[in-house]
Amino acid sequence: MAEMAILIDVSRCTACRACQVACKEWNQLPGEATTFAGSYQNPPELSATTWTLVQFRESADGNGLQWRFRKAQCMHCTDAICHAVCPNDAVTKYPEGNVVINPERCQGCLRCVESCPFQVPQLNPATKKTAKCRGCVDRVMNGLPPACVKTCTSGALRYGLRARLLREARARRDRHFPSGVVYGEREMGGLHVLYLLPDRPALYGLPEGLAGSAVLGATLARVTRFALSPRGWPRK
């Protein structure tokens, strides 16, 4: 199977959060007890039982109040740091692009949690193992789109050949968003969750400066220091 990806066009997202529900339902993930904290974003962050989350961001500028939505999840990086740092071979990279944690092999060492530049893997306190989005690997291997894509009604999520989605994202950016960004084309060696952003990535909570191999190399150097240090993991 060819290299695949999800394209998220944030300009089309209505924050209906159907993708959150579909992810919970397909992966049989429990709900979380939360309290209102002044934002419609709920739950407040990704967790070992919330693998996809529509994030809400507000800002004010000369054009008034701007409300930005972004579906957050695992990016399924080509240069996947979680895969590189795992000491127990618990992370599998599929040729299609999926990066999947095998809970049977995970020993809860937290290296993936500490290393991910997107802060995606999270420790499940009940199982003492980390968990994150699997890219619906069981669905896509059987010719079905990821559950989140299947349920999106606004056309904000699309699944298909990565190269084709990149071409379409560039074309839409050039037509409609002269200051826009196609995020994920080169970040972390190329992501399999791509974003079409009308504005700078930082305005959507996405880290910048991740293109190239420097991030992976620096993280592996930190892991080496951790392995040799009796004091444990060196903090960022």
Structural domain contains residue 36:
no
Asked if residue 130 belongs to a domain, the reply is: yes
For the chain, how many residues are written? 236
- 154 belongs to a structural domain: yes
Does residue 82 belong to any structural domain of this protein? yes
In a domain, 35, yes or no: no
- pLDDT given at position 236: 41
Q: Which amino acid is at 32?
A: E
Check residue 223 and give its pLDDT. Answer: 58
Residue position matching structure tokens 């190269």:
163
The predicted pLDDT at position 214 comes to: 60
Distance CA 74, CA 87 (A): 20
State how beta strands 91-93 and 53-61 pair.
Answer: unpaired
pTM of the model: 0.90
Element counts in the chain: helices (H) and strands (E): 7, 10
Q: Is residue 214 part of a domain?
A: yes
Average pLDDT for runs of 10 along the chain of length 236: 94 97 97 89 96 93 87 97 95 97 96 95 96 98 97 97 98 96 96 97 94 63 53 46
Three-class secondary structure of residue 148 per DSSP: helix
In a domain, 34, yes or no: no
Number of domains in the chain: 1
Residue 19: name the closest of 75, 66, 70, 68 by CA: 70
Structure tokens at 125: 């306190």
Specify the CATH number for the domain of residue 161.
3.30.70.20
Provide the domain limits for residue 122. Answer: 1-29+41-236
Q: Which residues contact 235 (CB under 8 A, 6 or more apart)?
A: none
Domain contains 50 = yes
